[in-house]
Amino acid sequence: MDAFDIKAALQESVKGVWNGDVDMGDGKLESLRVDYERRKSLCKGNDLKADGVFLELRLKQVIDALQEDVKFLSDGLVAAEQEYEKRFNAPNTSEHLLKTLCWERVEFNTLLQQAQCFLEKYQTMISCLHQQPPWEKDVVSAFCNVEQDAPVYLRNLFVKKRQPAATHVLLFLVSDERRNRKPYALPVQYVPYKSIKDQFVRDLTNVIKGEMKKMNLRPVGK
């Protein structure tokens, strides 16, 4: 096993694949992805119907999620401000780091404003359902209009939730002891990470050894 430096980056491909994430194999990344897909489906308007009860339930789900976003982004903005001030007042902070921290503040602030704007729009839609008669068709139309902007917001929001990005990759390789059959080691698993504990590495190694035993291979060495 060895580690290689990689550029820290969190990206989503056009096919929806996430790249650059820390993956410690504890299921947290998968859970975050499930939440991301759930949020995207809540914002879609293709399954909406002009039914007051259905619309209010959907809107309440979206509003609850956005209220959590506002809390997350507000806390993130405060932390980003504090980190910037701390580094700005330090005598040996590099210009590159200050620029990075400055952009972090801008991004949190922009996302917070967007979340508050979305929240206001969805709350207005709920109020329209309480009119007499209810403006159900207008709410469906307004929901579909907001849907166009929601995916970009959610993608950028979950980039923040996915931080920190991985900075290294832990690579596991196996080979026959004397390398009689293959003159090189074969990669069997890789784990992107930012920091990692020795015990976690041992746990991963034990899983690999267990799989080898199932294949009647006798693990030796580390």
* CATH number for 157: 1.10.287
Structural domain total, the chain: 2
Q: Does pLDDT of 157 surpass 90?
A: yes
74 and 13 within one domain: no
d(CA 144, CA 98): 40
Q: Could you tell me the pTM of the whole model?
A: 0.78
- Per-residue DSSP letter, 166: P
113-130 mean pLDDT: 95
- pLDDT score, position 48: 83
d(CA 69, CA 66): 5
- pLDDT score, position 1: 43
For residue range 81-111, what is the model confidence (pLDDT) as tens digits?
Answer: 999 999 999 989 898 889 989 999 999 999 9
33 and 11 within one domain: no
191 and 147 within one domain: no
Residues 6+ apart with CB under 8 A from 58: 42, 48, 143
For residue range 12-45, what is the model confidence (pLDDT) as tens digits?
Answer: 888 888 988 888 778 889 999 999 999 999 998 8
In degrees and rounded to multiples of 5, residue 170 shows phi and psi of -90, 120
149 and 196 within one domain: no
d(CA 215, CA 95): 53
Range of the domain at 74: 27-162
Q: For residue 38, which of 69, 65, 74 has the smallest C-alpha distance?
A: 65
194-222 mean pLDDT: 84
Confidence of residue 6 (pLDDT cuts 50, 70, 90): low
